[in-house]
Chains A and B, each alone.
Chain A
Amino acid sequence: AQSVTQLGSHVSVSEGALVLLRCNYSSSVPPYLFWYVQYPNQGLQLLLKYTTGATLVKGINGFEAEFKKSETSFHLTKPSAHMSDAAEYFCAVTTNSGGGADGLTFGKGTHLIIQP
């Protein structure tokens, strides 16, 4: 079975500072990895995804993530935080194995707080 662990339920950074949200996954087969963002009272929106190929993936709003197989990680970063980045961020995994009993498996989420 696949699983996702997001370290830190809350992360606080100053505006203009580096954003780093941590995600580690567990999967017995090559994973597909995703980051989603959820703003208050809204559904989730895809930020970026890794399937195959280049391990550094760029997404919307200046975010990027790097797939590191040896560390089973897919951490999300942004060089300079903006107030509008305040939201809940979810890491997710699927394996494209066809079994899919778990659907897309999400982490518990990290609430990003931006300090002015």
Chain B
Amino acid sequence: KAGVTQTPRYLIKTRGQQVTLSCSPISGHRSVSWYQQTPGQGLQFLFEYFSETQRNKGNFPGRFSGRQFSNSRSEMNVSTLELGDSALYLCASSWGLAVRTGELFFGEGSRLTVL
């Protein structure tokens, strides 16, 4: 069974640009959650999608957005990039809502560097 796949693994952008990250969940999983990981703030919850609907959202500005497709694949977008957006972005899938199951399966992450 294939795991969670995130693309791209590494990317470099400049301030003001926008970026789109992709996540393919484990087959059969309907929930996809996104987390931002930085040395200073640790793991912070961005949002969770379930059956193409955003179910939960963390405390991030509107520049951070996401969506989920009918095949459960998900994308997140960050517009008008700032230096502070440099981080490892982790996607995690689960069979049910993460807040109910807590059992998340993580991808290896997309490491974003903003210059």
Give me the interface of A with B, judged by CB distance under 8 Å. Answer: 32, 34, 36, 41-46, 49, 51, 90, 92, 94-109
B98 at the interface (CB under 8 A from A): yes
With the chains together, A41 CA to B10 CA distance in Å? 11
Structural contact, A100 and B90, CB atoms closer than 8 A: no
With the chains together, A51 CA to B106 CA distance in Å? 20
Structural contact, B42 and A106, CB atoms closer than 8 A: yes
Contacts between chains A and B (CB distance < 8 A), count: 75
Q: Which residues of chain B are within 8 angstroms of A36 by Cβ–Cβ distance? A: 104, 106
Q: In the complex, how many angstroms separate the beta carbon of A87 from the nearest chain B beta carbon?
A: 13
Among B92, B103, B104, chain A packs the most CB atoms within 10 A around the CB of: B104
Tell me the residues in window 63-105 of chain B with beta carbons closer than 8 Å to chain A beta carbons: 90, 92, 97-100, 102-105
Q: In the complex, how many angstroms separate the beta carbon of A33 from the nearest chain B beta carbon?
A: 8
CB-CB nearest 4 A-B residue pairs: A43-B106, A100-B99, A103-B45, A106-B43
Q: Chain A at the B interface: mostly helix, strand, loop or mixed? A: loop
B21 at the interface (CB under 8 A from A): no
Tell me the residues in window 13-59 of chain B with beta carbons closer than 8 Å to chain A beta carbons: 33, 35, 42-43, 45, 47-48, 55-58
Q: Which residues of chain A are within 8 angstroms of B106 by Cβ–Cβ distance? A: 36, 43-45
Structural contact, B97 and A104, CB atoms closer than 8 A: no
Nearest residue, chain A, Cβ from B40:
A108
Q: Which residues of chain A are within 8 angstroms of B98 by Cβ–Cβ distance? A: 94, 100, 103-104
Assuming A43-B107, A92-B102, A106-B43, is B33 touching A100 (CB within 8 A)? no
Q: In the complex, how many angstroms separate the beta carbon of A28 from the nearest chain B beta carbon?
A: 15
Structural contact, A98 and B109, CB atoms closer than 8 A: no
